[in-house]
Amino acid sequence: MTEPTPETTPPAAPESLYRREFLWAMGGLGAATAAAFAGWGGLELMVPPGTADEWHKSTCRFCGTGCTIRVGMRDGEVVDIRGHEDGHNKGVICVKGTMLRSLPKIEGRLTTPMIRKNGELVPASWDEALDLIAGKFKEVRDAHGPDALAFYGSGQLFTEESYTANKLFKAGLRTNNVDGNPRLCMASAAAGYVTVFGKDEPPGSYEDIDHADFFFIFGANPYDCHPPLWERVQRRRALRREAFVVCVDPRRSETAKRSDLHLPVIAGTDLLLLNAMAQVIIADGLTDKAFIDRNVRFSHDGNTIDLAAFGALLAEYTPEKVESRLGIGADLIRHVAHRFAKSKASMSLWTMGVNQRTQGTRLNIMLNALHLLTGHICRPGATPFSVTGQPNACGGVRDTGSLSHALPAGRVVANPEHRAEVEKLWGVESGTISPNPGHHAVSLFRAMESGQVKAALIMCTNPGQSMPDSDRYAAAMEKCFTVVSEIVADSETAKAASVLLPAALWVEKQGVLGQGERRYQLVDKLLEPPGECRSDLWMLVELAKRLGLDRLIKAHTPQAVWDEWRQFSAGSAYDFSGMSYDRLRALPGLQWPCPTEQHPGTARRFVEGSDPLVKPGMGVQFYGHKDNRAHIPFCPYVPSPEQPSPEFPLYLTTGRVLEQWHTGTMTGRITELRDAAGPARFTVSAVDASRRGVESGDMIVVTSRFGDVQGRAVIDADMRPGLMFAAFYDARLLVNKVVADHVDPVSREPEYKLTAVQFRKAGA
Amino acid sequence: MEVSDVFRIFAGVFSVVGLGLCLWLARVDFSKIPAERKVHLGVATLTGLAFFKLLALAALFAVPVVALGAANYHTIEGVHGVESCNRCHVMTPMVTDMRDPGSETLAARHFKNGWIPKDQCFQCHSDYGLAGDLRAKMEGYRHLARYTTGTYEEPIKFRGVFHNDNCLKCHAGTPKFVAVPSHATVQGRLAENSLSCLNCHGRAHPTREQRTPGHPDYTRLIGGDE
C-alpha cells in the first residue's frame, strides 16, 4: 500500500480506498466462507458408509423372547443385525441373534429334495417327491384309516404354516394326529394357564420386568436361555435397590450365581416349595382377601371349596413338614413367602425346569396360584409369566391349536360344540373333524414304533435329537414313511427320513411369529432361498393339491392364510383380527387381544382399560371361566417316577447354554457360536467325580434305564453332589439317549429335567 | 482450578491487553517522537522510536499469535466438555438422559456410576489416539455446520459407524470381558465394526421415537439439565 500524502490527495481518493479495502475484506470473507463450506462438504462425504445399505425390521429366529431386530442388507445379502430400539426388547438382543447374519449361509444346506432309494437318499425333483408323498399318504389312509397318518410340527414354523398344516390334517385328512415340539416345551404352561384362567397364554408382558420389585425365577436360567430378559431384570435391579431376585434351581446356574438368593431345592421336589409358600401365605394372613373374594375360586377333586378349606388342605405342606424333603430350611421358605407377598410387585418367570416335569401342570397351577393368593397379578410388575423357548410356539402352535387335543383359538377336539364351530369356520361338512384326540408327541413316536402310524410329515424340528429316549424314537421314525422338511441333510432327523424336503428358513420366506408375551410380529421375505428350497407353506399347499384337498386349502400365500386365520380369531378370546400385515409391517409387533385395526394391543390381560374383552366396570375379569374367576385346584405333591436307586444314584438334568440354541442345527454351524460354546460336556460335582476316579476332561459313560451315552466330563465346583448336567445342543453328545420319557398326566409333556443315572469312567 | 482454565484466563487477559495496546499505538505519531527521548527498561536503555517499534511489533504480531494459539487451544480443549455438546439443543436429550439417575441407557449408567469422570460425550465419541481426537473434531465441525445452517431434522440420526474401539479401549481385557466366551469368537467382527457391542449391551441414548417432538418424553428430555 502506498502512503498517501495529505497535501496532494484528491478528495475522492479516501472513498476509492475504502471501497478497495471493503472489496478486499469482502473477498477475504467470501474465501473464508467458501473454505468453511468446502470443509463441511468434504466432511459430509467423509462420513463412513454404515455397515449396511438398507435396513428391514424383522424378528429373531431363535428363542421365545422374540426380539425385534433390524436386518442390514448389502448386495442382496444379510450383512448386519441390530436390536430394534423401538422393539419390546429396546434394542437388546443376544449373541445368537447378532449372528443371524450367518444363518442363511450355513454350511451343509439341503438344497434339493431327496428320496430314499435302496437305503440311500438320492436327489429328486419336487414333482417326484411330492407325488410320492401324496401317493403314499393316500395309500396309507385308504388301507389303514386316517389315524395312520400324522403331522409333527414345530414352534418354529410360521403361524401361516402351522395353521395350514393343522387344517390340512384335521379337516382334510381327518386325523387329529397333529402335534409338535411345543409339546416338549410348553404344554405344561398351556395346561396350567387353561386350568387357572380358562384361556392359554400369559396375562402379563415383558414390560412388567421394568416395574417388578421381586423376581421369582423358578426353574429357569434366563442368563443363558433368554439373555435379553435377564439383561432387563439386571437393569431393573440397577435402577431399583429394593428389587430382589430369588432363583429356584437345583443347579447353581449362571442365573442362580447372579441372583440375590438361590434356593437349591433337591431336584424334583419343588412343588413342595410352592405348596409350602401357599401355606405360609394363607396361615400368616398374607393373602389379598378382597381380590380373592371377587376373582378366585378354589377346588379339590372337582368340588368348589373356600380359602379356609384350601388352607387346611395345605396343612400337610408347612415349611417344617417339607424342609427335609425339599432341602431348604423352614425359615428360608417363610422368608421367601413373606417377601413374595409383601413386595410392591412380584413377578414370576419360569420355563423348562417347571414345564418339562411329570408335575409340570401342577407346578404351573401353583405358580399362578401364588400370584392370585397375594393379588400380585393384573398390575404393572405383578404377574406370573411362563417364558417360552421357541419363536412361534405360542402364536403358531398354541394359539392355532396345532396340537393333538386342540383346535384353533382355545378350542378342543373333545368338545362337540368346538368341533362344530371349527367345521363351520373352515366350511367343511359336519363330522369332518374326528372326535378322538390324536397322539401327543411321545405317544406319536411310540405309534410309529408300533406301526399304528405309518406315514408322517415332520416339519422344522429335529426329534431325532430332541425327543427323550431319542435312540428309541429315531428308530421308530425309520419304521415309518417319514417325510422331513429340513434345512440340512445330516441332522439326526434327516438321517431317518424316507423323503427329505429342502426348506427355506427365516427371511427366505414370509410369515408371522408369535412370541411369549402374546406379541405377533411379521417377518418379511428378504432373500431368495438357495437351490430348490421352498417355504413349508408352499410344500403344504402343493401337497394339498396332490391330495385333492385344494378346495379346503384355498389360501396359498402367507398373507391370504393370515387373513383367513385373522378372521377366524374374531370374536374369540384370542381375537387378533385387528392385526393386518400392513400394521404388523409398520409396528414392532402387536399383542392380542387386538380386535380392531385401531386397537393398540393388550399389554395386560384381564384388566379393564387394557384388555378390550373385559366388561366395563369389572376392573379385573378372568373371562376365560364362565364365573369370571380364576380357578385354583389343590395340587398335591406326587414324586417323580424317576427316583434315584443304588443302580442309578444320581439325577441328570438337561438344558441350554448361552451361545447355542436347541439341537444346534443352526447355531452349531455358525462358527462364532459353535466355538464360543465348544463341545457339550457333562458337568459333574467334585464328590461324584472323585468317587468314580474321574477327572475334568475324562470321557465318561452315563447310563440310565433308557440307554447310555458317552461324553466328556467337567468338574464344576458349584455342582451339588448327586446332580449332573448336560446341554442338548451337540449331536456328538446326544444326551437325550439317556433321558427319561415319562410324561405329565395332563399336559403330556416329557420330564427332561429328571433322569436317574449312573456314570463311570469310559473304558473302566 | 484446572490448568486449562488458568490458561484460558491468561489468554483472555493477554488478548485484552493486546487490543488496548493496538488502539493506543494507533494514536501515536511515530514521526513526532523526539529522537533524544530515552526509555529505560531495567537492564537496557532504548531510544523512544525503538521502544515504540518494539511495542508495535508486539501489538501486531506477538500478541495476535499468542491469542490465536489460546483461541485454538480453547476450541480444541474446550469442546471436549459435555456443556459444549449440550449447546446445540438437539443434543440436550442425550445429555438430560445421561444425567438422569432413573435412566437405563448405557450413557446414563456410565455417568451415574462415575465410570467416566469427565468429558463423557467426547470419551465415547472419539476413537483411540490423536487421529480419533481429530476425527471427533471434524465430526463436531460437521455438526456445527449443520446446526448453524439449520440443515437437520429432529430426531437426529447417527450417521456412519460407531466404532467399537470406543468401548473396547476401556473394556477389552478386563476379567468380566474375558469371562464371556463369545467375546473371543467375535473379536474379529468387533475389531472391524461389523458387529456392534450395543446389540447385547443395549441402547446408549434415548430412542429416536423419544427424541421426536410430540413424544411424551420429548419435553422432559429437551427441558434442559436441571
Three-class SS string for A427-464? CCCCCCCCCCCCCCHHHHHHHHHHCCCCEEEEECCCHH
Residue A675 near residue A736, CB atoms below 8 Å: no
Q: Which of A80, A46, A70 is nearest to B207 (CA)?
A: A70
Mean pLDDT of chain A: 95
Give the whole-angstrom CA distance, residue A655 versus residue A739: 12
Nearest CA in chain A to B103: A239
pLDDT band at B77 (very low <50, low <70, confident <90, very high): confident
pLDDT band at A338 (very low <50, low <70, confident <90, very high): very high
Give the whole-angstrom CA distance, residue A690 versus residue B19: 86
| Number of DSSP helices (H) and strands (E) in chain B, helices first | 14, 2
Q: And the C-alpha cell for A442?
A: 411321545
**Nearest CB to B185: which of A81, A90, A675?**
A675
pLDDT at A12 over 70: no
Specify the pLDDT at position A496: 94
User: Which helix (H) or strand (E) covers residue A271, if one does?
Assistant: helix A270-283
**Nearest CB to B199: which of A82, A86, A673?**
A82
Q: How many residues does chain B have?
A: 226
Contacts of residue A745, defined as CB under 8 A and 6 or more positions apart, other chains included, come to A358, A361
Write the CATH number of the domain with boundaries A129-185+392-407+438-549: 3.40.50.740
Per CB-CB distance under 8 Å, the chain B contacts of A230 are none
Q: Is residue A98 within 8 angstroms of chain B, CB to CB?
A: yes
Q: What is the mean pLDDT of residues B176-187?
A: 94
pLDDT at A671 over 50: yes
Q: What is the mean pLDDT of residues A381-402?
A: 96
Percent of chain A past pLDDT 70, that is, above it, reads 98
pLDDT band at A202 (very low <50, low <70, confident <90, very high): very high
Distance from CA of B31 to the nearest CA of A (A): 14
Nearest CA in chain A to B162: A50
A673–B185 C-beta distance less than 8 A: yes
Residue B4, CA distances (Å) to A214, A252, B9, B127 in order: 49, 53, 9, 22
Specify the pLDDT at position B58: 84
Give the whole-angstrom CA distance, residue A522 versus residue A566: 13
List chain A domain ranges.
54-105, 129-185+392-407+438-549, 187-387+628-633, 650-761
pLDDT band at B4 (very low <50, low <70, confident <90, very high): low
Q: And the C-alpha cell for A641?
A: 417316577
Q: What is the mean pLDDT of residues A586-596?
A: 96
Q: How many residues does chain A have?
A: 764
Residue A394, CA distances (Å) to A355, A357, A505, B86 in order: 14, 19, 19, 46
Residue B84 near residue B182, CB atoms below 8 Å: no
Q: A86-90, B12-16, B182-186: lowest mean pLDDT where?
A: B12-16
Percent of chain A past pLDDT 90, that is, above it, reads 94
Query: Three-state secondary structure along A572-587?
Result: CCCCCCCCCHHHHHHC
Specify the pLDDT at position A1: 46
Look at B163 and A560; give whichever has higher pLDDT. A560
Specify the pLDDT at position A4: 52
pLDDT band at A5 (very low <50, low <70, confident <90, very high): low
pLDDT at B224 over 60: no
Q: Is residue A32 within 8 angstroms of chain B, CB to CB?
A: no
Q: Does domain A650-761 have CATH number 2.40.40.20?
A: yes
Residues A228-242: tens digit of each pLDDT: 999 999 999 988 989
Residue A750 near residue A466, CB atoms below 8 Å: no
* Phi, psi (rounded to 5 degrees) for B128: -65, 140
- The architecture that CATH gives domain A54-105 is Single Sheet (2.20)
Look at B45 and A637; give whichever has higher pLDDT. A637
pLDDT at A700 over 60: yes
Residue A479 near residue A751, CB atoms below 8 Å: no
Per CB-CB distance under 8 Å, the chain A contacts of B186 are 95, 98-99, 672, 676
Q: And the C-alpha cell for A633?
A: 385346584
Q: Which of A615, A691, A705, A692 is nearest to A652 (CA)?
A: A705
Q: What is the mean pLDDT of residues A199-215?
A: 97
Look at A462 and B222; give whichever has higher pLDDT. A462
Q: What angle do CA A285, A286, A289 make, to 5 degrees?
A: 80
Specify the pLDDT at position B49: 84
Specify the pLDDT at position A14: 57
Specify the pLDDT at position B73: 77
Write the CATH number of the domain with boundaries A187-387+628-633: 3.40.228.10
Q: What is the mean pLDDT of residues A680-696?
A: 97
Give the whole-angstrom CA distance, residue A621 versus residue A614: 6
Contacts of residue B3, defined as CB under 8 A and 6 or more positions apart, other chains included, come to none
Look at B222 and A134; give whichever has higher pLDDT. A134
Among 1.10.10, 1.10.1760, 1.10.3820, 3.90.550, name the CATH number for the domain at B83-222. 1.10.3820
**Nearest CB to A92: which of B160, B189, B202?**
B202
Look at B211 and A3; give whichever has higher pLDDT. B211
Specify the pLDDT at position B225: 43
